[in-house]
């Protein structure tokens, strides 16, 4: 590579680096800076009072954040697990379809194409205690109406179900792309050797799909921490704090309570926790992969 080419490559990267710095790094640094202050609007301007680590020390006592963090982690684990499972099975099924594949892909994509407000309204109606279709169907089996969104023990599961329904198509899409790009000669060779369909999946498809599965899972894991719409539209974090999640706590603190200092701390800690979990997940996957190889 000559010097001119190298300079041009560096030069061409500058715009994207600038965008990254302005839209990502600067807000991050700003939030980190704000987290050490008590910020109040007074006399027509924001007044910053330095309070050191006070916001950080108070955070564990916050009645919404800690339950929200625990719920978010639980939701990520359960929802992503089932999304990967169902997503893989559906993608596998679609990949075997010879005719009408486009129709099925469009059908399965519907949930991610719907606006969140529509999803919230649909599910809120379906979960309704007296008017909902689920309880209506259960009544045919003599089951007493379930308190889908009102029971402290069931509301969280109801949210997980909506999240699985909402985001499984995303997983399907990525895994299907992975499945369709697998080399066909391996399968042909296996068939010549008389490999069964089940063994084909276990010994060929899954090992070959591992990189795509990991990327999809990490992607979904990160995105699942951003869950907000379902909570906001279905339960508002209740009953009690049984469906509280960090994004909802942060939203309430920043925009409802107008507490920028505490909201910043919540954001910084959430970022740290998510990064830590991603590192742990990637390490576990790497070790499992190494062991499997």
Among residues 71, 123, 81, 64, the alpha carbon closest in space to that of 216 is found at 81
State in angstroms the smallest separation of the CB of 254 from another protein: 9
At 39, which helix (H) or strand (E)? strand 37-42
Among residues 264, 274, 262, 180, the alpha carbon closest in space to that of 224 is found at 274
Query: For residues 41 and 272, which CB has a smaller minimum distance to another protein in the complex?
Result: 41
Residues 185-224 that bind another protein (CB under 8 A): none
CA angle 212, 222, 32 (to 5 degrees): 140
Residue 56 touching another protein (CB under 8 A): no
Residue 111 touching another protein (CB under 8 A): no
Q: What's the chain's length in residues?
A: 293
State in angstroms the smallest separation of the CB of 39 from another protein: 12
Residue 149 touching another protein (CB under 8 A): yes
At 209, which helix (H) or strand (E)? helix 206-224
Residue 152 touching another protein (CB under 8 A): yes
Q: What x-and-dash track marks residues 227-256 binding another protein by CB under 8 A?
A: --------xxxxxxx----------x--xx
- CA 152 – CA 13 distance, rounded (Å): 51
Residues 22-51 that bind another protein (CB under 8 A): 41-44
Phi, psi of 141 (to 5 degrees): -100, 10
**Tokens at 282, concatenated:** 């990637």
User: Residues near 231 by Cβ (< 8 Å), separated by ≥ 6?
Assistant: 159, 237, 243, 244, 245, 247, 248
Residue 132 touching another protein (CB under 8 A): no
Q: Segment near another protein (CB under 8 A), from 24-32, 79-87, 126-134, 267-275?
A: 126-134
Residue 165, Cα to own-chain centre: how many angstroms?
Answer: 12
Query: For residues 111 and 239, which CB has a smaller minimum distance to another protein in the complex?
Result: 239
State in angstroms the smallest separation of the CB of 8 from another protein: 43
Interface with another protein (CB under 8 A), residue total: 30
Q: Segment near another protein (CB under 8 A), from 142-150, 179-187, 212-220, 223-231?
A: 142-150
Tell me which residues touch another protein (CB under 8 A).
41-44, 63-64, 128-131, 145, 147, 149-152, 155, 235-241, 252, 255-259
């Amino acid at each position: 590579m000559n010097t001119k080419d190298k300079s041009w490559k560096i030069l061409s990267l500058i715009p994207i680096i600038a965008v990254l710095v302005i839209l990502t790094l600067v807000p991050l640094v700003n939030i980190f800076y704000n987290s050490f202050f008590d910020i109040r609007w007074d006399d027509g301007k924001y007044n910053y009072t330095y309070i050191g680590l006070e916001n950080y020390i108070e955070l564990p006592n916050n009645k919404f954040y800690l339950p929200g963090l625990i719920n978010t982690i639980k939701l990520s684990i359960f929802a992503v697990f089932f999304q990967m499972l169902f997503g893989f099975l559906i993608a596998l099924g679609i990949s075997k379809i010879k005719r009408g594949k486009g129709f099925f892909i469009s059908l399965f994509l519907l949930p991610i194409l719907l606006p969140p407000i529509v999803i919230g309204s649909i599910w809120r109606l379906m979960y309704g205690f007296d008017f909902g279709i689920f309880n209506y169907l259960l009544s045919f089996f003599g089951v007493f109406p379930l308190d889908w969104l009102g029971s402290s023990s069931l509301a969280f599961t109801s949210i997980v179900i909506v999240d699985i329904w909402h985001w499984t198509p995303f997983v399907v899409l990525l895994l299907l792309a992975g499945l369709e790009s697998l080399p066909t000669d391996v399968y042909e060779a296996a068939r010549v050797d008389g490999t069964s369909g089940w063994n084909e999946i276990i010994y060929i498809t899954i090992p070959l799909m591992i990189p795509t599965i990991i990327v999809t899972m990490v992607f979904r894991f990160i995105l699942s921490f951003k869950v907000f719409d379902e909570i906001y539209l279905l339960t508002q974090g209740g009953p009690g704090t049984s469906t509280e999640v960090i994004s909802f706590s942060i939203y309430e603190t920043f925009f409802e309570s107008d507490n920028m200092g505490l909201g910043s701390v919540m954001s910084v800690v959430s970022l740290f926790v998510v990064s830590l979990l991603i590192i742990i997940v990637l390490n576990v996957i790497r070790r499992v992969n190494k062991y499997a190889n």
